[in-house]
Structure 1
Amino acid sequence: MFFLYKRVSHPTGLLKSHRFKPLLGSSSGTERDFIIHGQTHTAEFLCNAERGDPGYWYSVHSSSKFAWSSDIHLSPSLTVSPDSAQHFTSDSVSLSCEGNSTEWTVRRSSPEERYQFDCTWWGTLNGSTCNINTDRTSDAVYWCESGSGELSNAVNITIQGGDMILLSPARPVTEGHSVSLSCKSRNQTFDSIVFFYHNEKVIQSDIRWELNISAVSKSDEGFYKCQHSGRESAQSWMSVQANGPKAELRADYRDILVGGSVNLTCSVNPSSSSGWKYFWYRGEKTSEPLTSQLSAGPIRVSEGGVYWCRGGRGEPVNYTEYSDSVTINKIIPNKAVVTLQPNWTEVYVGERITLRCEIKDGGDTEWEYEWRTTSSEKPSDQNEHSITSVTGSHSGDYRCKGRKKHTQHSSTHWSDPIKLTVSDKPQPVITVSPSWLSAGASVTLNCRVKDPSAGWRFYWYKMVPHPSDYRYEQLPGSSSGTEQDSYIVHGQTHTAGYRCRAGRGDPVYSSYSSYSKFVWSADIHSSASLTVSPDRDQKFTSDSVSLSCEGNSAGWRVMRFSTEDKYWSACSTWGTMTGSTCNINTDWPSDAVYWCESGSGEFTNAVNITVQDGDMILLSPARPVTEGDSVSLSCKLRSQTFDSIVFFYHNEKVIQNDSRWELNISAVSKSDEGFYKCQHSGRESAQSWMSVQANRPKAELRADDRDIPVGGSVTLTCSVNPSSSGWKYFWYKGEKTSEPLTSQLSAGPIRVSEGGVYWCRGGRGEPVNYTEYSDSVTIYKIIPNKAVVTLQPNWTEVYFGERITLRCEIRDGGDTEWEYEWRTTSSEKPSDENEHSIEVVTESRSGDYRCKGRKKHTQHFSTDWSDPIKLTVSDIPLPVLTLSPSWLSAGASITLNCRVKDPSAGWRFYWYEMVPHPSDYRYELLPGSSSGTEQDSYIVHGQTHTAGYRCRAGRGDPVYSSYSSYSKVKQTSKMLCHELQLGPTLTMRMQIFFRDGTPISINIVGTLPHHQQGFQGLRCFVSKPEQLT
């Protein structure tokens, strides 16, 4: 009895590892020759013998023998460079191994050599390429072996020592392709007739040294050689492989769900031929087929792996080409999650981020990772992907999945996507309040960025004039940034400029700096001041106006901020600077604020000057007047005198009407402050503000916090500016007219633990000389109840036109009656109720909302502000409809997918089919979707014709609907025709033109004649669709 074995790769996949496996049907031995049907690849065989009963005597194994195949398959394969079967000695010849392996061996078998030696004996191996040593002649078969023991196609290469060779392909050529064979001489050109032979018959004899075959057929297969001037090349075999059908493998899904399976379908195209049986392979094409699953139809598999198939029919079996591989993954229950660190919804160009793929309940399993992204970024197969400096090209959706490292084809589902939005570096906007200072008032700075809650800290700077521009000094307490986006400057008395920037992350990523903003003060101080000549704030165009800088400094410049320009500029832009004086160019009207800056870094007082092109102006002081001083305001015409009554107005009330063109106030009081204008003969001046400054200082009250925490207190500080000595401070709670808290009369700050409205004023001397009262400060006593903002429905993102309700809930509020206060960054102004409904949301409602509660009948007791809830309002969504597959096979299922931005936010999906209508289309709901489907996919079974679909999404009660998606058309390249008996031939042509998946026109060329008796029937042929541009 004889036993036969075939070499197979080892299932462990270890390098250099293979074994011999008994051939199917020979495990019990055979008494005669053994025929192997359908062998397509290079293979190695051996045998041994046995006799006696039972198995009394065994022979040793025979030497192995090879059956070589020149057919090329995917893994592994051998290529020759140059691609010729014959070469001269000393030619450079390289053999390259290709395929899914990391370690290669190139071997050869030669009649002169007893063993199959590897490349190191007769060449030089460099990676997967072997360079043959061609110093001596040889005739040998060469092939590759992969690290796991698989064998490639084989090639026969001859190294010739003579003067002539035939250059012909070393590997098979395919039917229908062109091929060129050429005769080559070692050291001379061809000067006479060259003969080409095919199977010893002359097929070309002329001076051409090249034989061209435009379309190779099987009859061209055979031995070729060439001859010239009595010299002859060796002959080479040219193999021609049939352009036979190729099997097609399809899977209804690529992922096997937990406990499930998938369908695999093998088919042969054209499908009109019958009798095919299908051979199924898992792992490698060279493995033994899954014979137990030999079938004429689809099979179900429940194991992950790489699957192939091929068809076979007849006896002996005639095989198709192998199908392309399909990789099936077995889904495991672990969930993959993508996280972004830092966890910001929007990042900016230049920031550093890290994307992580985390496997929930992954335990000690070792994982390999795969990423999928819509961006141009290609993450490595690691669980963590860092981008040190993001750019706009990194924007997109990122998702990942994990595969068990030592268990092939077992993976998690793809994670939900995380959206990365990369924007240009932000530039904050700074605002100052108020724009014009009262002496000693506080200035509030606000620094706004696009997303204030995204981990930003804020850095505050004060402008200091510098000879050429400005330098910026950080304000106290902001060297590490502030969490709040506002900053209060206490006791500011002079004109000043401020800017801010935002930063986040570690190391800190900084935004651009904001543009600078000014707060102006009209108060005059001795070290630096601005005077106007003439001293009035209204001028005619063409008037002469000069601005002079005074003080203990040099290097003056005069600046202005114009409401038309929205920016500040120096005198050289709109006037002429001579020393410390600027002469304004008054050729055109303007309304601007002017101030001086010194070379030592000081700002002066600011003045507002209006240049008018009308016929009348009011002459009033450009700078503040002091209580008790006299002042004169006058009305002036451009080109004539007053000949009738002149009216003077104070805050729109007539205060003088007679022939005098001047208004005199002998002792100005604070009540005289306000807007003034004059009127004469139907003409009116512009109005000007006259500022009156008190002749006594005003106290300033500051609190280190406006909220008293539970069990705590706050510090109140009263001060007088300028800070002369000897002041004592009087404290008031409730009203300024109440008795002072005499027990707390002090020269320093006090601490209070009760909520209320507080005031202070300073006093000194005997009798006491009082300052003005400070502005009030309201202090709230925080109670432990917690305010919480809720959103109904609780969607992270809402869309234009939806209805929402915001509620302010007080935890453990009991029966207490509450008043509510809302704060929002949107344009919405909620009422002071606990519930605020918006019937139709718009983009202006986007922003942060927070609230707090105050006890209704107990003043100044309130909760802390709630944490903010962020409302994002987007445009009405437009779903995106995708169809799979792109082209139908008749009767196949179509999967529709309707994608919205946030698929988990309560959406239901409605599905429609396009129905052509005389003027356009109508859309009919698909079965089972009248109330919408929870799933965002819908399968249409048994579709045979071209069809168009669209979808929309809806949520809420009543239903809020998205836009409908753009329509998608599913085309089929086949048309089902009933084939009748053959009759007369008619030529017709129908062209259907599509744009973006929608049919736009149909053209029919030819006519079908009226049916007549005797017609046997019609047969139709349909061409494949063409892509037109």
Structure 2
Amino acid sequence: MGTARSIALLLWAQLLSLVGSQPPLLTMDPPWTPQFVGQNVKLTCGEPSVSSSSTWYTNGQWWKKTPSNHLHVELSGKGKYSFQCQTQGSELSPAVHLTASYDWLALQVPTRAVLEGDSLSLRCSAWKDKKLSQVKFFHDGKLLQDSRGDELLLSPAEQQHSGSYHCSAYVHFFSTGLKASAQIDLVVQELFSVPELSLQGPQEPPEGSALTLLCSTRGNALRPHVSLQHLFYQDGRLVGGPQSAPQHRVPALLPSHSGSYSCQVQTETGSVRKRSAPITVTVRRIPVAGVSLHSDPPDAQVLLGDRVLLSCAVAEGSGPLSFSWHRQNRTGALGSGPLYELQAAQLGDDDRYHCTASNGISTASSPQLRLAVTLPVSNASIAVLGTEVGAELERTAGEELNLSCRVGEGTGPVGFVWLRDGQELSRGPTWHLGVLGPQHAGTYQCVAANSLGTRRVFEARSPEVLLVVTRQGWGRRRAQVLAAGLPASLLVLLAVAAALARHFWRRRRGGESHKRGAAGSDARGTTWGQRGDNGAPPGTLTASSPLPAAASKRQHRDPAAPPGPSSPPILSTEPSEPDYINVPPRTPSAEDVLYCTVTITEHRGGASPRGPSAPQEAAVTYADLRGMQHPSDSYENLPHQ
């Protein structure tokens, strides 16, 4: 746009300059030269209808000044004359050359300058207009065959008409004779110069850039107001004009714009036409570069069944462009065009994708884009050794236990969180609990989760599993005791005894210093003891093992491992009164748990048994007495009823 404006301003300035310096046009009537001696001619300076004072010059010298722009001149002698004129404020007019002749025959040409496109007429005249016959015209010594009578018409005039002319004819005067005129030189001037075509930019412009063609020509100062038309051709085919503007613009070049360009300048009537020399323009294609792949949704992470739209874009590269789609784990193209759509993404569509763009001379590919198809996790469960467990899982202290979390379905990566009594304790698909102790008892649950990028998170919680940790062999012993018919009343009695013992012990311990003592045992093999927060039984204790607590807080208070095995109880065949040993005093604590150990000795039938059986493994009964923290409380063992 700026270039076109500059060109227009330059042409307008040139036009104004021509108008400001335009000289008057000097004409002569009759407008022929040579003239015969004794003839009169009329000179007019400028426009005939405008009368103004004029100054006249002959042969380059000042001649006279007249109040009007008209002057009559009589040719009084043989010779050459040159006339010029000037009006007020103007420059000198172009000269009009006139020759006065005494010859019998003269070839007359226009006195004014002959320009291309003019109507040119040549006359063969005799002195005092005598009659002529058999008139012939010659150009550069060659006879012209297209003459008619005593006048030769050359219209429109062309530069090739320039040259030396003369005529011959029979002049009928007192006697008839063949005469030949003198030769006269005729010059046909350019109306405008041959145009020149130029490019604003390189001859090998890149595809997509703009192309501006400028057709330049120079006009003749004798005809400053001639209206010219411009035409532009590509490979001989008209692509612009006719138009008055001397430029032609192609806003965006394509490969089809390559070719040979030329321009033509002509008059409005087409009488004068001139064409420039051709210029070859080669449109250069830009190599494909900067291929990028975009997705909707932007992160290319979708749920199973969602719609996915992939689009391919090119930063550089001239067209026409072709596109193809590919994925990493499949041979062959998936499709063509700048877009690739999956109406409902499936798990099998999870892969890396890329697109390729080509313009026929170069090819480039985009970086790979991972399309992730997510299936939310579901059906989480807890398993041991690959077998799903039920609502309750019973294990013996001292065993090793590993829990694994499984999901029924769901795409990875899947994260796992382990909860015990609602509190997070571990992460990962497997929880290695190690060697079991009472502290491991509780309610377990695993939470599996996967996500859809950063937008959504999906969770699946397993059913809760209650882990019960029993003392080694207690499960088997409990079955044996029940099979032996141990009365339920004895179990109740033991529980009451434990509660009273704790109460008694706490009363006894109130005023004493912190000491560790040994726990006593009765003849029936019942052992009492107290456990502190450090997990080790105070004093000397027999084999005992606390049962796991139900609440999470209790689990943290339980010892890390069960107490060590007790000494075998002393067995007797004679009934005896039980011995009572109080628990050594210690400053009471809210976290203390009282427990006792019961050892059962079997006697085989009758009043006089043959001997006691081997003592069975001790069982532990706990009694948790909350709130009884008075220093004056005391506890004691209860005899067997």
Q: TM-score, normalised by structure 2?
A: 0.27
Higher percent of residues as strand: 1
Task: Decide which structure has the larger Cα Rg and report it.
Answer: 2
Q: TM-score, normalised by structure 1?
A: 0.17
Name which structure has the greater RCO, CA cutoff 8 Å, separation 6+. Answer: 2
Higher percent of residues as helix: 2
